[in-house]
Structure 1
């Protein structure tokens, strides 16, 4: 990164939705020189490109288009399909942010001489002597997206501006866009998985991409065969509906075994565990999977999924390098492939993929 980068210049990920558009408005109101960057992850999303370009035009900022389909395919989509095929439940946004979105934002910022990068995420940043640069929770706990950003390194975070960090709710962002007469002020929220069409489910998507879906056995905790499942990708830990099998009482998916191609069913209480093990960890303070010394055996708050409430836990590094989180209270349905994210107060200090 060049020392000559302009600290009044910022490049913002502009999707054409109300969040990123409002973020651009707020940055411009602060006197920042804003450029909008649209990522095309699907190789020809003309509707998305037109929306982003229109947003940039109405705000009055320069617009850059980048086709990142090849990078997105080889990283995010490939990981998504392979994880599901292996009986895990990935979160593609967590994987995309460091490998695609913020990577390209930083490259383009360097190219145009901008120090800052920005997005419409509901989160904040912070810097302290102990933690260094970290992602911080947003003011609105329900909208907070800090969980999605835990794999960002400190060198990215120190350049990051998150204008929506203090928004109380999304209606506040919509109101700002509406006041400016922007076309997307009342545009509906984007779908959960950006690369899968509204009329297609993820199982069909994975099958269409050439992955073989093999039927196997439902089993109980003792290994007794209970019936046939239609393929591991159709099931996730904690699932109760759509099993295609009935027992006269509620049963839940409590385990998925890709080696044996089995789905284990059990009772609701079987879903609760006090200890959660994670791998492929990342800690912003070290820029790697190595846990900082001040976190070893430390009491933190931990989330085992995006919508979960942070819960007290003590974390430590295991002999094999994985991270063990021991919660004060049992957590429901810790799901392999999802992320566990650690906080000190409201600052993200690390996390990893649940094993």
Structure 2
């Protein structure tokens, strides 16, 4: 595949010919709200690409009404976590970071006092990669609330200490607790091992080899890039990352992320409690597809406001939705409807 995406009529890719019309009708009817972009690719070609206009923001900073197109950068919020998962796999392959089974606190000698707690000393890198550290973390609060744990971490003088000294609420490995703090620790390990800041490592190791030349990465008050939610990408570049994952870590025949890391990321490690699973900063589930005899497995990155990157290997399918429904409890409704009722429901053949 070249840097430029080729297009294919929906019917030639196994979709209903009126796929785009159905999306447009959903938007006009008000059933699909706050969308900024929808992209669908199958077999490496774009079969649907729509852009809209709407209110947007950049990591909480209002941008006003934006008319989106293929060149517009967009917050991907917590899909950033899934990108950091890919970066950790690259860094591990290069010998820059400790393996999943390594003790987590051993990599932070400046926090040696925390390792004196035998319960905390049991933490491993794998517990951070699967968000099973068993430490208290509350991102159920709105991200406008200073008591939200990610917001509190960004305000703390030392984000790594903040993430690691939370109260222990479960034994490591037993309970999934959504945690931007876990990802901040992984981002710190990558930056320390690479000897550079996280965005620069991402540029050299992941983005430039894939032809992704434009991105932004928001930084906290301490100047450190937010590994949990700070990345801004163009829609097609997010789709590009999904296609690379679908292809087992390869782009244009070049190995970008080790295949075994991608395979492990696709393998459920821990239930999230809502019917999904999680592994190496990716959500994992399955969904019925009319064109197939049974449900098809998918993996995805989810982000605040309706940001989604879906990858369904069995259907050779990659889908991106970008939206402006930040901090709203119903933000997942529209991207989920696009995924299930527009994309999967209109896939007519394997």
TM normalised by structure 2 equals: 0.25
Name whichever structure is richer in strand by fraction: 1
Name whichever structure is richer in helix by fraction: 2
Q: Using CA pairs below 8 Å that are at least 6 residues apart, which structure has the higher relative contact order?
A: 2
Structure showing greater radius of gyration is: 1
